[in-house]
Amino acid sequence: MEIKLYLEPVEIKQSDFNFNDQRERYSNIITTFYEEDTFPELDGINIALLGVKEDRLSINNFGCAYAPDEIRKKFYCLFPHQTSVKIADIGNIKNGHTVEDTYFAVAEVVSSLLKKGILPIIIGGSHDLTYANYKAYEKLGQIINMFVVDPMFDLGEAEKDIDSQSFLSKIILHQPNFLFNYTNIGYQTYFVDNEAVELMDNLYFDTYRLGVIKKDLEEVEPLVRNADMISIDISAVRQADAPANANATPNGFNGEDICQIVRYAGLSDKLTSIGFYETNPTFDSNGQTSFLIAEMIWYFIDGYCNRKQDFPYLDKENYKKYYVTIQNHSSEIIFYKSKKSDRWWMEVPCPIDLKIKYERHYLVPCSYNDYQTALENEIPDRWWQVFKKLM
């Protein structure tokens, strides 16, 4: 498939980045779709920037469609400290006649990139584009884990049409379903009703309140390491740090927190796409939020360049193996510790007939704290959540 059919050049020009010095910036090393006849050659590319100027289903945040090029202006000015990665900016998705047409185009382009082993960084646009990103994995027939940074769950009402605050229910109810697990971090309880919390529990999804995550940010790393795709709503960052969102509120992650989270994402060998949504330049202050997104992308790439390629289902020989016996539990819990990175995983029993289908899911990323929990004769919560899904 020729993905160029769905794309248009970026609306910034190379001449916009004539600096007063000769130092190398991202504007110098990214192969960019500036003109119709300059679409990048994708062979050998590791990461592709993809803009989506779609906000027709945004709730109270029209104008976020203008974010992609504003983010590019800030990102292209940054210095690349990791030059081994090959990056192409393939431009912006052409908006369809309907939003569904745009979703289709996003899914086609993202699935094509994934087939080539290229990781798309999506800069939007409204948060319902997460649904289009998910549809790309459906096209590949791949069962995935989704990780979302959002102050709410975006469930909405199942019987209503999709929008930027109701896309998750469409993903959950979509058949055939390719979602194995959904993780939300940073939700704020006063934005979420009790029924939604109960539904997340009943579906064995992982949800973590803002205060819980901020108390120990390092515990985010294994959560992120379990994700195939990540979706970030900028309203999860407090208004003081990211004002460019009509739904911004006083509480949320700060700039340092969110940059650390996306660096963890970059480090994950399993992760194959990430999206940044709901940035609205109309409400920005001196480009502050676009700068923050640009820095988040910088940290993500920095993490990507430091990947260890140590996901254990590929090769268990490079791991230390630990067996922990839990009293009154029928089987031992097996932990794996990477000799390359010192990161931990634990194995969850999986029925033989499901092992091929879920081969990427029954080895669960965890932390040393989970191992300590098992040594204290308690089954880690992460282990239970996956065990319930597999049984």
pLDDT digits (tens, 9 = 90+) for 155-195: 988 778 999 999 999 999 988 899 999 999 999 999 999 99
**Gap between the Cα atoms of 228 and 70, Å rounded:** 27
- The Cα–Cα gap between 232 and 276 comes to 5
Q: In the predicted model, what is the mean pLDDT of residues 126-154?
A: 97
Mean pLDDT of 198-207: 94
Go through the domains of the chain in sequence order and give each one's CATH number: 3-304 (3.40.800.10), 316-390 (no CATH)
Does the pLDDT at position 105 exceed 80? yes
User: What confidence tens digit (pLDDT) does each residue in 238-277 have?
Assistant: 999 999 999 999 999 999 999 999 999 999 999 999 999 9
What sign has the CA pseudo-torsion 246, 250, 255, 257?
Answer: negative
For residue 313, what pLDDT band results from cuts at 50, 70 and 90? low
